[in-house]
Structure 1
Amino acid sequence: MKFIIPQETKIGHVHLKVSNLTKSLSFYEDLLGFTVTQKIGDEAAFLSAGGYHHHIGLNTWYSKGADFANVRAPGLFHVAILFPERKDLANILKRLNTYKYPLSGAANHGVSEALYLDDPDKNGVELYWDKPKELWPYDNEGNLKMVTEHLNLAELLSVSTI
């Protein structure tokens, strides 16, 4: 019998090795807006959205001053940060534009809209919102059909509230 993980299961947090805690905090706290819940000297920090103990852990325990990981090496492709509403994704896009922070990509995946960028250590970060489930695309057999199509950034920005 195949084991099936409970439907209510969620991925709670990501913990990243970083080369410079100050630069990483500038990105995750100052640019993206996470709140530091705990800091351990200049070696580690834990950040949250909405008062959770932490969604993101950052540490330099094994990586202080290290070079970037090779993009072709096995490891984390990106961490995905889910925004509650489309306007929230539009707001962060406007903020990134204001600070001239470069995107590495943007896509309409049918089920979601996503912005892609790199943190200071070249860790991939996806910022996205899920479309309502009733709008998700399915093929003729009823299978979910995720895609990677152009995301109209100007249209997304039009729903920004900031």
Structure 2
Amino acid sequence: MSAAATAPAAFPPVAAGTRIGHVHLKVADLDRAIAFYGGVLGFQVQQHYGTQAAFLSAGGYHHHIGLNTWESRGGSPPPRGATGLFHTAFLYPTRRDLADALRRLIVAGIPLGGASDHGVSEALYLDDPDGNGVELYWDKPESEWPRKPDGSLAMVTERLDLDDLLKELEA
């Protein structure tokens, strides 16, 4: 029997201010992972833990991303059909910041796996060098979110116009 099936239904919801503080990824090559998350995406290395781990952040926080090779040095991504992380999503504060992330990917020659306008957000999808899924996105202002007649969200998945996104850098 699963934990969800045995959990009491009376548990209250988690506190509204709860958020994901960081992600810690197993990688095959620490330097390669730092080059991607630090060099391409621009997260700053806060600390190295010997030659086996590093902690990176945006804005000087202790870490948003942990990278380690403790059990994975030289390893390969999990096979398709296996359980595990689907992707890590990084929320950018503005559309212009997302456009800058796209520019960085283009300059680095990193291909996108997809780019979507979800009505509530715009997102870029790609894989890191270890095959971990990465989503880079920004949330549109809540006043612009699409709604159904009953007021509930009407999220969509439409093609994101990358040329229009890059125009944010011209302003």
Give me the TM-score of the superposition, normalised by structure 1: 0.96
Asked whether 1:10 is paired with 2:19, we answer: yes
> In 2, distance between residues paired with 1:96 and 1:25?
15
Asked whether 1:103 is paired with 2:83, we answer: no
Alignment match, 1:156: 165
> In 2, distance between residues paired with 1:75 and 1:140?
37
* Unaligned ranges ≥5, structure 2: 1-9
Task: Give the superposed CA RMSD.
Answer: 1.2
> In 2, distance between residues paired with 1:34 and 1:3?
35
Instruction: Give secondary structure in 1 for the equivalent of 2:36.
Output: helix
Tell me by how many angstroms 1:71 deviates.
2.7
Tell me by how many angstroms 1:33 deviates.
0.4
Q: How many residues align?
A: 162
Task: Note the 1:23-102 alignment, pairs <5 A.
Answer: 23-102=32-111
Instruction: Give secondary structure in 1 for the equivalent of 2:62.
Output: coil
Match for residue 119 of structure 1 among 128, 146, 158? 128
Larger Rg: 2
Instruction: Give secondary structure in 2 for the equivalent of 1:28.
Output: helix
What percentage of aligned pairs have identical amino acids? 57
**Greater Cα offset, 120-129 or 95-104:** 95-104
* Unaligned ranges ≥5, structure 1: none
Moved over 2 A (4+): none
Tell me by how many angstroms 1:2 deviates.
4.2
